Amino acid sequence: MEFARRRRVETNLDPRAATGNRQSPGIGQRLRKPRHAGLFEAVHRLDAGLDAGMRAQLAEWIRAEYQSEFGDVPLGMFALCHLGPPYIDHRLDLWQSIVEHYAPADAVPEPFNQARMLVRTGAYDFVEVYASGELRPVLKDGSVVA
């Protein structure tokens, strides 16, 4: 019996043609660039119990970094939470500056709910969630899984 390994094949390298986005050519390649330590630090600061003003500043800084470095800004990120019980994971909505921590039984809103299972595997430091529904898991070394 032969088992075929599933893989993602990108046949159209111009994302504007496939999704209708008005992004520059090469955006897919830019989104695959490794994430730098500053982004990791920002995502991990979510566990520090930031006030609303600091959350807004953090979200604004992350949006600016993604726009300048990668050419696209995710809706937000989903990551493991280190606050301790009952919380196990959290999300940062970059456009509404919402940080929400979740217990195991809590429902996570769309489109972040699909990132939850990826984060819970422990294989990824965080998962970027895009408006298109695309998820980009980020490994602890900063590399992005496409």
pLDDT digits (tens, 9 = 90+) for 36-46: 999 889 888 87
pLDDT mean over 109-134: 93
Instruction: Tell me which residue of 122, 31, 26 sits closest to 81, measured CA to CA.
Output: 122
Residues found in the chain: 146
Pair 70, 31: CB distance under 8 Å: yes
pLDDT mean over 123-143: 94
What phi, psi does 66 have (nearest 5°)? -65, -40
Residue 58: band (very low, low, confident or very high) from pLDDT cuts 50, 70, 90? confident
Decide if pLDDT at 73 tops 90.
yes
Decide if pLDDT at 140 tops 80.
yes
CA 61, 63, 66, 71 torsion-angle sign: negative
Lowest mean pLDDT among 7-16, 20-29, 82-91: 7-16
Decide if pLDDT at 71 tops 50.
yes
| Whole-number percent of the chain with pLDDT over 70 | 79
Give me the half-sphere count of Cα atoms (radius 13 Å) on the Cβ side of residue 94.
22
- The Cα–Cα gap between 29 and 146 comes to 10
